[in-house]
């Protein structure tokens, strides 16, 4: 049973436009959500996070939106740059599971120059 879903395996966006990566979760106990970015042959690197008490968190070009009622979050990248081309993992955790982080399958983003 996949608790964190990323239904788009891949996404292509023109440089300068907005990239929107989506993530859905099933466990209503999740209270903390993260996005990680991964380049080939490297480990994932932390990008941005959001607590369940917020509905938006912004860091430069990256904004994460959380819709708890829909169990949905999204990552917006504006403007998209070729260096953003990577695999993006959505992840979630809850304190009742001693903060075990569950990762989604990832979305591969290609930003076309």
Point out which residues bind other proteins (CB under 8 A).
4, 9, 32, 34, 36, 41-46, 49, 89, 91, 95, 98-101, 103-106
Q: Where are the alpha helices (DSSP H) in 19-106?
A: none
Least distance CB 79 / other proteins (angstroms): 26
* Of residues 54 and 100, the one with the C-beta less far from other proteins: 100
Least distance CB 43 / other proteins (angstroms): 3
- Burial class, 88, CB count within 10 angstroms (exposed 0-12 / middle 13-18 / buried 19+): buried
Least distance CB 99 / other proteins (angstroms): 5
Rounded to whole angstroms, how far apart are CA atoms 36 and 44?
A: 6
């Amino acid at each position: 049973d996949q608790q964190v879903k990323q239904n788009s395996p891949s996404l292509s966006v023109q440089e300068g436009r907005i990239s929107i990566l989506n993530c859905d979760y099933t466990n209503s106990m999740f209270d903390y959500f993260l996005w990680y970015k991964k380049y080939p042959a490297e480990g994932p690197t932390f990008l941005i996070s959001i607590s369940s008490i917020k509905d938006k968190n912004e860091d430069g070009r990256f904004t994460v939106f959380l819709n708890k009622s829909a169990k949905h979050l999204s990552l917006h990248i504006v403007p998209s740059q070729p260096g953003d081309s990577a695999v993006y993992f959505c992840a979630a955790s809850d304190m009742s599971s001693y903060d075990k982080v569950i990762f989604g399958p990832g979305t591969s983003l290609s930003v076309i120059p």
